[in-house]
Amino acid sequence: MSDSAPSFQTLSSHACFGGTQHFLSHESREIGLPMRFSVYLPPQAQRGPVPALVYLAGLTCNEETFMIKAGAQRLAAEHGIALVAPDTSPRGPAVEQLPGATESWDFGIAAGFYLDATAEPWATHFRMESWIVHELLTLVARRLPIDGQRIGVFGHSMGGHGALTLALRHPGRFASLSAFAPICAPSECPWGEKAFGRYFGTSEDARAQWLAHDAAALMQSQTASPYPDGILVDQGLADRFLVEQLHPERLEAACAAAGQALTLRRHAGYDHGYYFIQSFMADHFAHHARTLCR
């Protein structure tokens, strides 16, 4: 490891299921601002590099949400898998002063949508895709006992959208993929229209970028099955956002057309929150472990 490699600041660390829960920050070159993230290292990391799961959280969340609410550390310790959870957007005075950044819960701060904005004034700092894929994953693999060749990705809602699109946009970067209640066709729902219209613009050329960050559209363009071990998606049928915002049937149809194995499970009585996520977290770990730990 080179001493000149980028590093990070430890904000706090906590013993947890024989491993350690870290909350961290670093000066991001891609974002141009300090960015926070959290990492859980299972006890197996004391003996050498372990595989990792990147979790992308949803609207209104931050780098703490998953680690506090999901109950995932026990499973991570059992499987010997590290957890990495980035914040959901840039933050701080430079972002707060942007018009509209703090006016609503579904755009701006805590709503970065895991993309690189191209429209001003968002293009300077809202570079979440490049931060995660090109900077953060390199940082944790260099500075922590994480095997950078064995990384899976999953997420919830906006983060489920992020997991699906980053995995499809960066072939080979993530070895396994799953999602909880993802936004499957953001170019066709109010959340996506609002975010994409501002981050990319609304011109005809800009709308091509919308489709480049739409999981259903990306899957339709696949010429081969990108995840031969399959993709797992869980969706609650009591989710108040299901009909208007999430559209899992679009992803289901696109996977069928592309020959991509998809396990889409619909659960009666479950809503959009972390009680739903906790209920099926073990299944997602088992799904990823079949690829990451073999």
Round to whole Å and give the CA distance between 33 and 90: 7
In this structure, the strands spanning 19-27 and 9-16 are antiparallel
Nearest to 180 by CA among 267, 84, 277, 270: 277
Q: Is 157 a catalytic site residue?
A: yes
Round to whole Å and give the CA distance between 138 and 132: 9
| Inter-residue contact 107 to 95 (CB < 8 Å) | no
Tell me which of 38, 157, 176, 187 is the catalytic residue: 157
Both tokens assigned to 89: 């957007």
Tell me which of 213, 272, 284, 287 is the catalytic residue: 272
* Consecutive H or E run containing 57: none
Tell me which of 87, 234, 239, 287 is the catalytic residue: 239
Q: Is 272 a catalytic site residue?
A: yes
User: In 3-state terms, the chain is what percent helix, strand and coil (to 5)?
Assistant: 35, 25, 40
Q: Is 205 a catalytic site residue?
A: no
Nearest to 135 by CA among 34, 21, 64: 34
Catalytic residues: 157, 239, 272
